[in-house]
Structure 1
Amino acid sequence: MRSTVLQVARRLTVVLGLLLTASLLAAPAHAAKPSSPKRFGGYAFDTCVAPSNDVMDAWNVASPYTVVGIYTSGNSRYCDESKQPYLSPGWVQRQASRGWLFLPIHVGYQAPCFDSKSAKRRMSYDRTKARAQARADADEAVRAADRYGFARKNTVYLDIEWYDRANRRCNAAVLSFIDAFVQRVHQRGYKVGLYSSASAAIQAVDEVRHAGSKTFDFPDQMWFAWTNRKANTNGRPYLQNTFWKRDRLHQYHNNVTVSYRGRKVLIDKNVLTVGGGSKAKKEQKVCGIKPTLNRYRTLKAGSRGGDVKLLQCLLKRAGHGATVTGRWNARTTKAVNSYRASLGWSQTSTASRPVWTALLSRGKTPIALKRGKVGEPVHRLQRSLRAAGQKVDVTGIYDARTTTAVRTYRKSVGLPTYQTADQAVWDALQRGRR
């Protein structure tokens, strides 16, 4: 009996070890902390029920969206926890590790003159009571943000649905509520984004700010719903261009069913500029050389110059033993042929555009790059696309021109023409495909 138990225990240990190994291999390279957008310009979607992991993974590699709105708290949420089969702190952490950013949305007390047929809770017309309700809502929103893994300095989004601003008493109560909510959330160390119809709370708060109020606690970001189907952050005539120019979101198309890789979701479409938009750090040099060239010419025996030095450096980094001299020598020929052989190519003793494309794209490959992403991988993607013959500037920001270049490149190598640079794009680039 004892030996049987030991055998079972050993087998169980082996199985658990294999499962642990598999889980580690499947895990993302790093566990990013859940975050709201801080310095970003790109696209977001929000939907009532947080999608499954399968849907999020499909949309990550095929959709233009980097940001997802999730309903985390509030007594007027339609999609509360009882209607959320997937949303959890673990779900948020998983998506964060795959590069997603979030808009944590609080739907609490609504305007006292809000449509009476709705089941949503309403704030008091009494402004003192409305402020007390706002503080309670703010505490709930912050607790929920913390529960879902959002640390201080992240943004929580207060949802105030459309109401009739012509009702002055109602409008005054809403403004008092917003003022108190923002004040309390700021005290808790978080930021506030105000979501509302452009013609409702957004316009009301904008008018207070234009009036020069010194006592009102204003939101850090303005998220206006105006379904004009224009993917820009121009809120006029409701939200003037005077304030929040660097921190605004536009929900421009509502209740539209969208499908990526066969996964359909009913969403609202948003475009955003937060923190002034996406900004990249300066391009990193390679062996003291700027790796972006005006032209990636074919190099061979007798070639010399800065591009030869860059080629030698890239070959050396790839483990093919070149010396960095700026002059093509015998070791360069050997290194080039070694590299070509590693890719299954003929050993022609030349470095043409496919070689440049493959070498420049080497490195860590993110799950998906898309509009608004920044950093070294974007620099590397843009350089390798240039070497492959695409017209794109090397800015380090995944911008509109990069999106066009990626779609054109994907089509040229027989890939679905998504706007994203996923593993399939990197595989093609690292094989020198053009």
Structure 2
Amino acid sequence: MRLTSLPSARLPIMALAAGLVASLLLSSPASAARPAAPGGFTGHGFDTCVAPDQATMDLWNLTSPYSVVGIYVSGSSRYCGDAQQPNLSKQWVAQNAANGWRFLPIHVGRQAPCFVNNPSSRVQKQLMSRSAKTARSQARSEAKETIAALKKYGFAKHSTSYLDIENYPRSSSCDRIVLEFVDAWTEYLHAKGYRSGLYGSGSSAIQAVDQARRSNRRGFTEPDQMWLAWGNGRADTKGGPYLSNSGWKRQRLHQYQLDVTATYGGVPLTIDKNYLDVGQGSRATKESKPCGATQTFTRYRTLKPGSKGPQIKALECVLKRRGFLSSVDSHYRTGTARAVSAFQTSMGWAPTGTVTRSTWTALLSSGRSPRVLKVGSVGSPVWRLQRSLRAAGGQLKVSGVYDTATARTVRSYRAARGLPAYPTADAAVWAELQRGQTL
């Protein structure tokens, strides 16, 4: 994180942007979700010096691939401290959590004793003491400070705070103090029921801690998560020459592009781009099988009276849930045909009694429109979306995880329906699917 430059000013939001916000809000839950910091997730995130205003967060939620935002919550060495944070509050966190955002709370305090300040920067960072005993005391004090900030912003216990140690010229004496500081910081957070993350340059703090782990440094308490700053432009969690793959499996973050201007929904921000694989990652929930039958198939067949096979039960189950059929018997007879015709009539279609791609698409997508879905999303809405897209003609695996293949299919579907080519599934996508619109 380069904290010596302010983000670019936000451009005025036009009428189109206001419409996009309305689309997002319609698909958001009414009640505030419990903030995740960051929880289990695999996907994209960003961090920026000043927490964006709510309109920007809403637009970026709808139009960007990002699900996680880094926020500077504590530490005397923050370039964007409390005085530079007009938007960040407990209410801001709660609202964005309700909209599906996850968070990376960042603490920027004392730096390595050999760190060299930029004399032209308005923030001159304090340094750790060269005395190990004093440095450990300083670390505990800063850990106490970040816990207070986590509580202030509404994060529950077991949240992770990321200790930001900027790049420093390595030496054995400097590394020793950094390791003592990280150890004491982590021990204090653990004792209070929180988790420890370390952000740092791959060639300094990250590599020093990884070497301590591999050498089984006596008494060293490892951070729970490692956030590697390595601007190689690759959205993955590989550690390259800095962080060996044997450590912190599924507890990694990679800042792969720094200080770039990205624009979504007409709003630019200067950000760092990150890719995460933390907690248990984005794991599919158990597939729901109403009526005891799967609704997931490689291809959704055209069905009519006399058709046979497992898709009949799936069809009847959906019709029953929609109130068009009273029972499920896995036989496509007159009653099932009448139910199909009744559904088609409700859609304003000709009542043919034959299940086509459009019929499958509309039936499988029916239900309450969830909030915005994007890479890393999981849960029953993702199963429903993937089945619907498959029925509509999309070529994707129904896995229960919104992956890059799902994002590509959503883009294709949006393009086919004349919608903006975002990688996200929002209320507009669901509306088209529920109308039975196919690729």
- 1:199 paired to 2:194: no
Q: In structure 1, the residue corresponding to 2:290 is in which secondary structure?
A: coil
Aligned to 2:222, which of 205, 218, 221?
218
The answer on whether the counterparts of 1:313 and 1:322 sit within 8 Å (CA) in structure 2 is no
Report which stretch shifted further, 200-209 or 24-33. 24-33
**Which consecutive residues of structure 1, in runs of 5 or more, have no partner in the other structure?**
1-23
- 1:294 paired to 2:298: yes
Note the C-alpha offset of 1:276. 4.5
Q: RMSD across aligned C-alpha pairs, in angstroms? A: 1.6
**What do residues 331-390 of structure 1 show as CA deviations (whole Å, max 9, x unaligned)?**
222221221122221222211011101111112322211111111111111111110111
The answer on whether the counterparts of 1:42 and 1:372 sit within 8 Å (CA) in structure 2 is yes
**Distance change (3 Å), C-alpha of 1:416 and 1:52:** same
The answer on whether the counterparts of 2:410 and 2:424 sit within 8 Å (CA) in structure 1 is yes
Note the C-alpha offset of 1:25. 9.1
Amino acid at match of 1:287: C
**What do residues 80-120 of structure 1 show as CA deviations (whole Å, max 9, x unaligned)?**
11111110000000000011000000111111222232511
Q: In structure 2, the residue corresponding to 1:368 is in which secondary structure?
A: coil
The answer on whether the counterparts of 2:26 and 2:427 sit within 8 Å (CA) in structure 1 is no
1:147 maps to 152
Structural mapping, 1:227-266, within 5 Å: 227-266=231-270
Pairs aligned (count): 410
Note the C-alpha offset of 1:49. 0.4
- 1:159 paired to 2:160: no
Q: In structure 2, the residue corresponding to 1:421 is in which secondary structure?
A: coil
Instruction: Give the number of the structure whose alpha-carbon radius of gyration is greater.
Output: 1
Note the C-alpha offset of 1:301. 2.2
Report which stretch shifted further, 127-136 or 303-312. 303-312
Note the C-alpha offset of 1:177. 0.9
The answer on whether the counterparts of 2:27 and 2:371 sit within 8 Å (CA) in structure 1 is no
- 1:412 paired to 2:416: yes
Find the aligned partners of 1:27 and 1:248 in 2 and give their Cα distance.
29
**TM norm structure 2:** 0.90
The answer on whether the counterparts of 1:111 and 1:173 sit within 8 Å (CA) in structure 2 is yes
Report which stretch shifted further, 416-425 or 302-311. 302-311
Note the C-alpha offset of 1:287. 0.9
**Distance change (3 Å), C-alpha of 1:26 and 1:45:** closer
2:14 maps to none
Q: In structure 1, the residue corresponding to 2:148 is in which secondary structure?
A: helix
Amino acid at match of 1:157: Y
Amino acid at match of 2:346: S
Aligned to 1:330, which of 334, 338, 354?
334
What fraction of aligned residue pairs are identical, expressed as a percent? Answer: 53
1:320 maps to 324
Q: In structure 1, the residue corresponding to 2:57 is in which secondary structure?
A: helix
Note the C-alpha offset of 1:26. 9.8
**Which consecutive residues of structure 2, in runs of 5 or more, have no partner in the other structure?**
1-24
The answer on whether the counterparts of 2:27 and 2:427 sit within 8 Å (CA) in structure 1 is no
Q: In structure 1, the residue corresponding to 2:250 is in which secondary structure?
A: coil
Find the aligned partners of 2:244 and 2:325 in 1 and give their Cα distance.
60
Aligned to 2:391, which of 387, 393, 403?
387
Q: Higher relative CO (CA 8 A, sep ≥ 6), structure 1 or 2? A: 2
Amino acid at match of 2:412: T
**TM norm structure 1:** 0.91
2:3 maps to none
Find the aligned partners of 2:281 and 2:104 in 1 and give their Cα distance.
16
**What do residues 120-154 of structure 1 show as CA deviations (whole Å, max 9, x unaligned)?**
11111111111111000000011111111111111
Find the aligned partners of 1:57 and 1:79 in 2 and give their Cα distance.
22
Find the aligned partners of 1:30 and 1:105 in 2 and give their Cα distance.
26
Structural mapping, 1:22-421, within 5 Å: 28-116=29-117, 117=119, 118=121, 119-166=124-171, 168-421=172-425
Note the C-alpha offset of 1:305. 3.1
Note the C-alpha offset of 1:323. 3.2
The answer on whether the counterparts of 1:106 and 1:156 sit within 8 Å (CA) in structure 2 is yes
The answer on whether the counterparts of 2:288 and 2:294 sit within 8 Å (CA) in structure 1 is yes
**Distance change (3 Å), C-alpha of 1:27 and 1:311:** closer
Amino acid at match of 1:394: V
Find the aligned partners of 2:193 and 2:200 in 1 and give their Cα distance.
23
Q: In structure 2, the residue corresponding to 1:57 is in which secondary structure?
A: helix
Find the aligned partners of 2:175 and 2:38 in 1 and give their Cα distance.
29
Note the C-alpha offset of 1:27. 7.4
Amino acid at match of 1:85: P
